[in-house]
Amino acid sequence: GLNLDDVQGGHFVSPFSCHHVCCIDETWLFRTRIGMRKVFERFFFFGISDATEFKARLKTDILPLITSTMQVIANQTDTMLNIAFSQTGLIALNITGPANDLNDTVFTNGQVADASNLGDPNTTNWVPEFVGTNIHGVMLLASDTEASINTTLADLQSKLGNSITEIYSLRGAMRPNENKGHEHFGFLDGISNPTVGGFQDPLPGQALVPTGEILVGETGDNVTRPEWAKDGSFLVFRQLKQLVPEFNKFLADNPINEPGLTPEQGSELLGARMIGRWKSGAPIFLTPKFDDPDLGKDKFRNNDFTFAEPGQNSSDPTDQSKCPFSAHIRKTRPRADLSVGENTTHHIVRAGIPYGPEVADDESSSNTTEIERGLAFVAYQSNITAGFQFLQHSWANNQKFVHSGVGFDPIIGANAGAQRPVNGLDPTNTTRNFTLTIDFVVSRGGEYFFSPSISAIANTLSV
Ligand code: N7H
């Protein structure tokens, strides 16, 4: 079986992980245990300047601090640390040659080479440090206090000395108070993630996927990999800016005009139909007209639907009154819309966190974003082409998915900056087309990384 002491903790998801050890309350944190989910997270992107020295420090100073899945389950670590490397980072560590080829072309070429394919060719929008292949690695630090992150990072930096250079860093934080666990548009996040075989039973509606869909070299990963890569995972990082006041204005300007709804409720409904869930997390497929906060927070019910119902399904698409085919959660996980159902290889484990401040008053009154905020998007999978890249390119950006006439995913669908047709959002007239002239989510770029097993760090990457 899988050695949970050897797998880095960041990509672990389990609904019941705290069942035995630490499930003392039912707060947002324990709804599902997603990797290193804490209140604060720092993404520290670095270049390796002195490989020999870095390897020594990796072994003596970083390795003992790396948080394993077992430690995540026990939730006993104040500051959790994971580390991942880009292709150029592996080259800097002299992990080269055919025997060390991870066999993921997208990873090999780096994310900036994939920009056009992602519908995101305008890299002048990108954080400049992500344009190019200078980033060799990323350290992810998570804690419930920012002071602990700062202390740990400062300590690591002093030990690493001149063996690395800081290239860029991003500070993620849960939103305050009642918005804890919600992303910046206001929607509860972290509800639906697959669970991998071999851990626990899935929650109702949760995808149970072969371990090899998330972890390299396990059953379900059919690509030839170097031995040391086993139980690692590819980490996709994207800094996704969200235009929150602009999104809110779009909702306010276009309320769904349904009998019995106030204009405000009509705007809420439009937003919910763009996502496929209400702000509380309640799926619109189960509660199509009004939010149901009790359903939203009930982890046994809030993911328990398939889209399979007469008239609502892609094989019988007469009616999208319960959920548009274009809704973000339906585009990115079509469930029974595909005849193969969950039996696809296109699952990712999402472990992102919001970044940037709350919307300021002058931003809401001017309907204009002035300070950057968004989602520090993190996705784990054993195959980027089948995972993140496929969801973005072949589903969200594909107007013909799940069948022709659906249009873009209104949240993350990208059309190289051009306007985006979206259908099905208005339940009173599902042939009504919305042409979105703004990207509410703007890519600021990112990088593709490999998050190795702890033994790979000890026995291969640090020697
Ligand atoms: Fe998405 N959002 O707030 O609008 N996402 N997402 N995502 N997303 C989900 O079910 C959001 C992004 C997926 O299993 C929820 O946990 C935002 C990318 C997948 O039913 C919400 C951004 C990709 C799911 C959001 C963003 C995905 C999912 C519902 C960017 C992949 C699970 C909460 C700023 C390419 C689907 C939940 C399922 C859910 C939002 C990005 C994929 C609220 C704001 C780039 C697979």
- Spatial separation of the C-alpha atoms in residues 286 and 301, rounded to whole Å: 9
**Which residue's CA is the nearest one to ligand 1's atom 45?**
412
Give me the residue label for tokens 């927070």. 297
Ligand 1 test: best mutation among 329, 331, 344, 408, most atoms within 8 Å of CB? 329
**Which residue's CA is the nearest one to ligand 1's atom 12?**
412
What does the pLDDT read at residue 174?
A: 95
Contacts of 411 (CB under 8 A, 6+ apart): 185, 274, 275, 328, 440, 441
Q: What is this structure's pTM? A: 0.96
**Does residue 166 sit in helix, strand or coil?**
strand
What does the pLDDT read at residue 200?
A: 66
Mean pLDDT confidence for 68-91:
90
Whether residue 442 has its Cβ less than 6 Å from ligand 1: no
CA-388 nearest atom, ligand 1 = 35
Annotated active-site residue 189? The verdict is yes
Mean pLDDT confidence for 283-307:
95
User: Angle between the 244-253 and 263-275 helix axes, to the nearest 10 degrees?
Assistant: 120
For residue 47, list its beta bridge partners.
165
> Phi and psi (nearest 5°) for 107?
-65, -45
Q: Catalytic: which of 189, 221, 292, 439?
A: 189
CA-238 nearest atom, ligand 1 = 45
Please give the distance, rounded to the nearest whole angstrom, from the Cα atom of residue 160 to the centre of ligand 1.
36
Whether 183 shows a pLDDT value over 50: the answer reads yes
Ligand 1 test: best mutation among 206, 333, 411, 443, most atoms within 8 Å of CB? 411
- Residue 22's CB is within 10 A of a number of other CB atoms, namely 15
Biggest CA-to-CA distance, the chain:
69
Whether residue 327 has its Cβ less than 6 Å from ligand 1: no
Nearest to 229 by CA among 99, 106, 348, 111: 99
Task: Give the pLDDT band (50/70/90) at residue 33.
Answer: low
Contacts of 369 (CB under 8 A, 6+ apart): 241, 243, 244, 245, 246, 363
**Which residue's CA is the nearest one to ligand 1's atom 29?**
189
Task: Give the pLDDT band (50/70/90) at residue 16.
Answer: very low
Q: Are 289 and 309 in contact (CB under 8 A)?
A: no
Q: Are 39 and 226 in contact (CB under 8 A)?
A: no
Q: Are 77 and 71 in contact (CB under 8 A)?
A: yes
Please give the distance, rounded to the nearest whole angstrom, from the Cα atom of residue 422 to the centre of ligand 1.
17
Using CB atoms within 10 Å of the CB of residue 80, give its burial: 0 to 12 exposed, 13 to 18 middle, 19+ buried.
Answer: buried
Nearest to 314 by CA among 339, 349, 343, 287: 339
- Residue 167's CB is within 10 A of a number of other CB atoms, namely 17
Please give the distance, rounded to the nearest whole angstrom, from the Cα atom of residue 390 to the centre of ligand 1.
14
Ligand 1 test: best mutation among 251, 350, 408, most atoms within 8 Å of CB? 350
If one compares 95 and 69, the residue with the highest pLDDT of the two is: 95
Task: Give the pLDDT band (50/70/90) at residue 2.
Answer: confident
Whether residue 192 has its Cβ less than 6 Å from ligand 1: yes
Q: How far is CA 262 from the centre of its chain?
A: 34
Whether residue 189 has its Cβ less than 6 Å from ligand 1: yes
Q: Are 462 and 58 in contact (CB under 8 A)?
A: yes
What does the pLDDT read at residue 20?
A: 36
Please give the distance, rounded to the nearest whole angstrom, from the Cα atom of residue 188 to the centre of ligand 1.
10
What does the pLDDT read at residue 30?
A: 41
What does the pLDDT read at residue 26?
A: 41
Mean pLDDT confidence for 3-23:
65
Give start and end residues of each alpha helix (H) in 277-435: 293-297, 328-332, 361-366, 388-390
Q: Which helix (H) or strand (E) holds 422?
A: strand 420-423
- Spatial separation of the C-alpha atoms in residues 28 and 175, rounded to whole Å: 12
Whether residue 441 has its Cβ less than 6 Å from ligand 1: yes
Q: Are 268 and 252 in contact (CB under 8 A)?
A: no
What does the pLDDT read at residue 311?
A: 77
Using CB atoms within 10 Å of the CB of residue 261, give its burial: 0 to 12 exposed, 13 to 18 middle, 19+ buried.
Answer: middle
Of the listed ranges 32-36, 85-89, 321-325, 363-367, the least confidently predicted one is 32-36
For residues 417, 421, 426, 429, the Cα torsion angle rounded to the nearest 10 degrees is 160
Contacts of 245 (CB under 8 A, 6+ apart): 359, 363, 364, 366, 367, 368, 369
Cis peptide before 402 (omega within 30 of 0): yes
Of the listed ranges 39-53, 95-109, 199-213, 438-452, the least confidently predicted one is 199-213
Q: pLDDT per residue over 329-382, tens digit each?
A: 999 999 999 988 888 999 999 999 999 999 999 999 999 999 999 999 999 999
Please give the distance, rounded to the nearest whole angstrom, from the Cα atom of residue 59 to the centre of ligand 1.
36
Nearest to 134 by CA among 108, 167, 101: 167
Task: Give the pLDDT band (50/70/90) at residue 15.
Answer: low
CA-441 nearest atom, ligand 1 = 34
For residue 407, list its beta bridge partners.
422
Please give the distance, rounded to the nearest whole angstrom, from the Cα atom of residue 95 to the centre of ligand 1.
34
Nearest to 118 by CA among 394, 420, 430: 394
Average pLDDT in the chain: 92
Contacts of 340 (CB under 8 A, 6+ apart): none
Please give the distance, rounded to the nearest whole angstrom, from the Cα atom of residue 459 to the centre of ligand 1.
36
What does the pLDDT read at residue 314?
A: 72
Q: pLDDT per residue over 425-436, tens digit each?
A: 999 998 899 999
Contacts of 295 (CB under 8 A, 6+ apart): 280, 282, 283, 286, 287, 301, 302
Whether residue 411 has its Cβ less than 6 Å from ligand 1: yes
Task: Give the pLDDT band (50/70/90) at residue 170.
Answer: very high
- Spatial separation of the C-alpha atoms in residues 202 and 194, rounded to whole Å: 8
What does the pLDDT read at residue 199?
A: 64
Q: Are 423 and 411 in contact (CB under 8 A)?
A: no
63 residue type, one letter: L
Nearest to 248 by CA among 160, 358, 356: 358
CA-375 nearest atom, ligand 1 = 34
- Residue 102's CB is within 10 A of a number of other CB atoms, namely 21
What does the pLDDT read at residue 18?
A: 41
